[in-house]
Amino acid sequence: MIKLDSKVPEGPIADKWNNYKSSQDLVNPANKRKLDIIIVGTGLAGAAAAASLGEMGFKVKIFGIHDSPRRAHSIAAQGGINAAKNYPNDGDSIYRLFYDTVKGGDYRAREGNVYRLAEVSNNIIDQCVARGVPFARDYGGLLANRSFGGALVSRTFYARGQTGQQLLLGAYGALMKEISRGSVEMYPRREMLDLVMIDGRARGIITRHLNTGEIERHSAHAVVMATGGYGNVFFLSTYAMNSNGSSAWQCYKKGAAFANPCFTQIHPTCIPVHGDYQSKLTLMSESLRNDGRIWVPKKKEDAQKIQKGELRPTEIPEEDRDYYLERRYPAFGNLVPRDVASRAAKERCDAGYGVGSTGLAVYLDFEEAIQRLGKNTIEARYGNLFQMYEKIVDDNPYETPMMIYPAVHYTMGGTWVDYELQTTIPGLFSAGEANFSDHGANRLGASALMQGLSDGYFVLPYTIQNYLADQINVPRFKTDLPEFEKSEKEVRERINTLLNIKGNKTVDTFHKELGKIMWEYVGMERNAEGLKKAIEEIKTIREDFWKDVKIPGEPFNVNPELEKALRVSDYLEMGELMALDALERKESCGGHFREEYQTDEGEALRNDEDFTFVSVWEFKGKDKKPELHKEPLSFEFIEVKQRSYK
Amino acid sequence: MNLTLKIWRQENPQAKGRFEKYDVKDISSDASFLEMLDILNEQLIHEGGDPVAFDHDCREGICGACSLYINGRPHGPDTGITVCQMHMRNFRDGSTITIEPWRAKAFPVIKDLMVDRFAFDKIIQAGGYISVNAGSAPDANVIPIPKENAETAMDAAACIGCGACVAACKNASAMLFVSARVSQFAVLPQGKIEAAKRAKSMVAAMDEMGFGNCTNTYACEAECPKNISVSHIARMNREFFIAKVTDSAKK
Ligand SMILES: Cc1cc2nc3c(=O)[nH]c(=O)nc-3n(C[C@H](O)[C@H](O)[C@H](O)COP(=O)(O)OP(=O)(O)OC[C@H]3O[C@@H](n4cnc5c(N)ncnc54)[C@H](O)[C@@H]3O)c2cc1C
Ligand code: FES
């Protein structure tokens, strides 16, 4: 039975983190060298944590799927990173960033954690600039900002459309520095396949070397999972192909509870699906909504003609266009949060006003912005995104409006952690997108990069130290202990079982089947009937998978099909938990929209009385129903309101 | 579209590789090049064959994982993009496409079209960073940086570390890659402090890892998917020169 203690420190919200830091336990420098920390994941959270802990003097081992840490999924983030610097003098503050994040998350996040995030946001920008991140600047040489959804201030720092790349390269540089200093050891092309526990604490991992297939054992005093989100359960998403939630799932099965699995973010501005051979979806950054206006035809006849290719968007006069976000949400207009924008697009398309050959697209139009600012300015702001769009769609967005549609993009849910980012397994920490901590039911744009770096640069270095303070007399662990033996054996058996099925259907076939069900029933709109159906269908696919999957090749050597199969076998279980969680949460909030619970105007209708809690799921064994625990949320520093962007 | 693919197959790093021919049919011209390879692989699995191994992840031109040498050019016929961003409309129906891995001594083949680019990380470890620790940074706006410098730094920092420059170069030199990192930091006040030392140690690491010399043919710039300019090489040479002069003055 798990115990949930959020460990949020006492005191006024603005003092909590300081109070924590001034009363935490420390480890002296000589002892740090004797303590090993495993970090799984080289994205912003993992790279930043490894570099910082290495700088402090701990012995760090970092693992990643890629040949180089720089290829982690964080590299793909485009739009920007938030901070409460208030450089534009438009009324921003730490409190306002905190407030916007809690409100944006539809009051389903923990106040203490979010405040800390807002508090360290400014240090992140300082740190990145010191490390040579080339953020955009104004002519006076100072840092520039742009606006993102869900905020009325300009607080987003950016490096063209490649902010994630630049932040990751900054953290990667620091990591490389520590590797050359000898404090961090890098294990590239390793996939974690199990967590090893000794006497109830996380003490190591089992990995597979993706080039040689070798199964390896690694031990440490503490383990950090910074393995990213699980959105690839849906098959089609904006995630990189190798992103996966498997390590969180392995830890879940060892006792690390999983929080809010149903909170997934569907991003409103992605390039629409074009064919069944499609492997992934491409995001068009939210920053485009600073200048682009979203619309569909006012008349259904026009929409139908466009779908048939008989009419072009540029031929539709201004008065026949429905700028539905500006119409429905005059205060925030095109900059409403993602969940609201996505649902509004779906609503219009379902009603028959969608465009493109499938009718599943809306326009994002820059005509007015180009007239107002000139093509050069638009090119300077979004040039690389426009180029990316043109290469994929073969259409010039300077001349015809872009076509966009919502796609799976981020998972707010994840491994449950307390204020120290520690999971329900002592010694196991989770950082970045892999944990559930800061975004409630909906994440605001430019806040994931902030959270990843906050966790890695500024939170874990303190909290892990606090955990390790009483471990200084624990000697390094040998990997020939029976616990390692057992874990490795299980991993090998799992691989052999998969390879020996020798069925008829490829891994992707199963993954696509699962993805269709997830998108249909556990996607943008959910209802009880659909969710029950999803649970049943996922079970059927799972049974079929274990009977009929076909994986070529051997366990040793490079084997991408085996890698995928291991992950898909986990998705086939995670998908079910996501549906179950969505079924149990009988309210609409943020990215979780239940058809049964909406206002007369079609907005999400929360049920604060019964659902102001974090859903925390505990694994109870194979084929057994997991147990739902509730971490109640209380709001002392923010007044809980109906979220309105009108 | 129907196509014939001539693909480099190599079991493992030790094996002797060879070209194999495959036919793929009814490929949509809207499919991406990697999606076309996905289709081939599904076909191979069904036929009981071994799917072709190739590196990829983001599939949107930013992670630098994809690395195919297509019809004699890194990242294929289109310019300014990676192979994962290239769509089949760039090819003619009925044509034959030759697909090879990057070929360079410093990038050994792992399997088929995958190569090991660990050498790039080694070069960065030699000094491709600014030596500051977390927690010690002053306010970000304390040092204004001319917009022009910030833009130049960003131009250089756009490098995705894919290695196309090395694959394009007849000497398999990594000069463009190294200079992009050196140049990014050399134009920023925060990076200037270590600039000369950085240039020297990164160039030394490059030589050590088995990359060739730069003989100014500029094939790297022409094939770079991010259009990184060879002007960064000139800037690096300046820093390198300063380092050498300082060294001999010290002696
Ligand atoms: C297209 C796109 C654009 C985005 N734009 C923005 C933006 O503008 N602003 C913003 O704030 N956020 C943005 N996001 C979200 C943000 O990029 C991610 O949430 C964030 O980068 C996640 O960082 P991370 O460090 O938690 O994980 P990741 O970067 O996903 O890293 C995960 C790491 O874990 C490793 N790993 C995973 N599983 C295993 C395993 N089993 N064994 C070993 N290693 C493993 C991987 O190799 C990788 O190194 C965007 C996301 C996408 C998809
Ligand atoms: S797959 Fe990431 S750049 Fe091509």
Chain A closest-CA separation from residue B152 CA (Å)? 9
Q: How much of chain A exceeds pLDDT 70, in percent? A: 100
Q: Which residue is it, tokens 């902030």?
A: A450
Report residue A498's pLDDT band, with 50, 70 and 90 as the boundaries.
very high
Q: How far is CA A68 from the centre of its chain?
A: 21
d(CA B177, CA B160): 9
Confidence (pTM): 0.97
In the listed set B49, B80, B110, which residue is the last one of a domain according to the structure? B110
A96 labelled catalytic: no
Inter-chain touch A132–B124, beta carbons under 8 Å: no
Average pLDDT over residues A15-24: 97
Predicted ipTM beyond 0.95 = yes
In the stretch 315-374 of chain A, residues with CB closer than 8 A to chain B read: none
**CATH code of the domain in which B99 resides:** 3.10.20.30
Average pLDDT over residues A47-71: 98
A215 and A222 Cβ atoms separated by less than 8 Å: no
In the stretch 179-218 of chain A, residues with CB closer than 8 A to chain B read: 179-180, 186, 188, 211
pLDDT digits (tens, 9 = 90+) for A547-575: 999 999 999 999 999 999 999 999 999 99
A404 and A604 Cβ atoms separated by less than 8 Å: no
Q: Chain A contacts of B110, Cβ < 8 Å? A: 211, 558
CB of B134 within 8 Å of a chain A CB? The answer is: yes
Residue of B nearest to A139 (CA): B147
**A118 CB contacts (<8 Å, ≥6 apart)?**
A84, A94, A95, A97, A98, A101
In eight-state DSSP terms, residue B72 is: T
CA of A241 relative to ligand 2 center, distance in Å: 10
d(CA A143, CA A149): 20
Does residue B103 sit in the same domain as residue B28? yes
Work out which ligand 1 atom sits closest to the CA atom of A238. Answer: 53
pLDDT digits (tens, 9 = 90+) for A129-155: 999 999 999 999 999 999 888 888 999
Whether A433 lines ligand 1, by a CB cut-off of 6 Å, is yes
Other C-beta atoms closer than 10 Å to the C-beta of B120 total: 28
Report residue A190's pLDDT band, with 50, 70 and 90 as the boundaries.
very high
Whether B87 lines ligand 2, by a CB cut-off of 6 Å, is no
pLDDT score recorded for residue B197: 95
Residue of A nearest to B185 (CA): A132
**Is the pLDDT at A171 greater than 90, yes or no?**
yes
pLDDT score recorded for residue A643: 82
**Is the pLDDT at A394 greater than 80, yes or no?**
yes
CA of A510 relative to ligand 2 center, distance in Å: 24
CB of A89 within 8 Å of a chain B CB? The answer is: no
CB of A273 within 8 Å of a chain B CB? The answer is: no
Report residue A605's pLDDT band, with 50, 70 and 90 as the boundaries.
very high
Q: Chain A contacts of B119, Cβ < 8 Å? A: none
Inter-chain touch A557–B146, beta carbons under 8 Å: no
Q: How far is CA A132 from CA A173, A372, B75, B193, in A?
A: 10, 33, 29, 12
Q: The domain A482-612: what is its CATH number?
A: 1.20.58.100
Whether A415 lines ligand 1, by a CB cut-off of 6 Å, is no
CA of A168 relative to ligand 1 center, distance in Å: 10
pLDDT score recorded for residue A381: 83
**Is the pLDDT at A26 greater than 80, yes or no?**
yes
Chain B closest-CA separation from residue A86 CA (Å)? 12
Establish how many alpha carbons lie within 13 A of residue B76's alpha carbon, considering only the half-sphere containing its beta carbon.
Answer: 21
Strands A402-411 and A362-365: antiparallel
Average pLDDT over residues A266-274: 93
Q: Which residue is it, tokens 């990014």?
A: B184
A444 and A100 Cβ atoms separated by less than 8 Å: yes
In the stretch 274-313 of chain A, residues with CB closer than 8 A to chain B read: 274-275, 277-280, 282-283
Q: Which domain holds residue B202?
A: 118-250
Q: Which residue is closest in CA terms to ligand 1's atom 37? A: A227
pLDDT score recorded for residue A148: 85
**Is the pLDDT at A539 greater than 90, yes or no?**
yes
Query: In which order are the strands placed within the sheet that holds A201-209?
Result: A190-198, A201-209, A215-219
Does residue B101 sit in the same domain as residue B125? no
d(CA A31, CA A83): 35
Q: Of the candidates B60, B61, B141, which has its C-beta nearest A142's C-beta? A: B141
Other C-beta atoms closer than 10 Å to the C-beta of A551 total: 23
Does residue B22 sit in the same domain as residue B53? yes
pLDDT score recorded for residue A359: 94
Q: The domain A268-409: what is its CATH number?
A: 3.90.700.10
d(CA A631, CA A108): 11
Whether A164 lines ligand 1, by a CB cut-off of 6 Å, is yes
3-class SS shares of chain A: helix, strand, coil, % to 5: 45, 15, 40
Domain map of chain A by residue range?
268-409, 482-612
Q: Of the candidates A68, A134, A139, which has its C-beta nearest B161's C-beta? A: A68
- Choose the catalytic residue: A160, A217, A338, A381: A338
Q: Chain B contacts of A17, Cβ < 8 Å? A: none
Whether B242 lines ligand 2, by a CB cut-off of 6 Å, is no
A461 and A49 Cβ atoms separated by less than 8 Å: yes
A269 and A404 Cβ atoms separated by less than 8 Å: yes
Does residue B137 sit in the same domain as residue B238? yes
pLDDT digits (tens, 9 = 90+) for B189-209: 999 999 999 999 999 999 999
Residue spans of chain B under pLDDT 50: none
- For the CA atoms of B40, A189, B102, A174, the dihedral, rounded to the nearest 10 degrees, stands at 140
Strands B109-111 and B114-115: antiparallel
- Please choose, from the candidates B231, B16, B129, the residue with its C-alpha nearest in 3D space to the C-alpha of residue A69: B129
The string of DSSP codes covering A414-445 is: EE---TTSB-SSTTEEE-GGGB--S-TTSPPT
Q: Chain B contacts of A169, Cβ < 8 Å? A: 157
Does residue B133 sit in the same domain as residue B244? yes
d(CA A450, CA A164): 10
**B156 CB contacts (<8 Å, ≥6 apart)?**
B179, B180, B181, B183, B184, B187, B228, B232
- Please choose, from the candidates B35, B40, B10, B6, the residue with its C-alpha nearest in 3D space to the C-alpha of residue B25: B40
**CATH code of the domain in which B167 resides:** 1.10.1060.10
Residue of A nearest to B115 (CA): A67
Residue of B nearest to A238 (CA): B58
pLDDT score recorded for residue A282: 93
Chain B closest-CA separation from residue A612 CA (Å)? 35
d(CA B115, CA B109): 4
Inter-chain touch B154–A159, beta carbons under 8 Å: yes
pLDDT score recorded for residue A149: 81
Q: Of the candidates B34, B141, B161, which has its C-beta nearest A279's C-beta? A: B34
User: A224: which strand partners?
Assistant: A39, A429
Residue of A nearest to B150 (CA): A134
Does residue B244 sit in the same domain as residue B139? yes
Number of domains in chain B: 2
- From B75, B78, B81, B84, give the residue whose CB has the most ligand 2 atoms within 8 Å, as the site to mutate: B84
pLDDT score recorded for residue A476: 95
In eight-state DSSP terms, residue A402 is: E
Report residue A384's pLDDT band, with 50, 70 and 90 as the boundaries.
confident
d(CA A559, CA A552): 8
Whether A42 lines ligand 1, by a CB cut-off of 6 Å, is yes
**Is the pLDDT at A1 greater than 80, yes or no?**
no
Inter-chain touch B63–A71, beta carbons under 8 Å: yes
Mean pLDDT of chain A: 96
Does residue B154 sit in the same domain as residue B137? yes
Does residue B214 sit in the same domain as residue B125? yes
Work out which ligand 1 atom sits closest to the CA atom of A45. Answer: 25
CA of A66 relative to ligand 1 center, distance in Å: 13
B49 and A232 Cβ atoms separated by less than 8 Å: no
Inter-chain touch B191–A211, beta carbons under 8 Å: no
Work out which ligand 2 atom sits closest to the CA atom of A76. Answer: 2
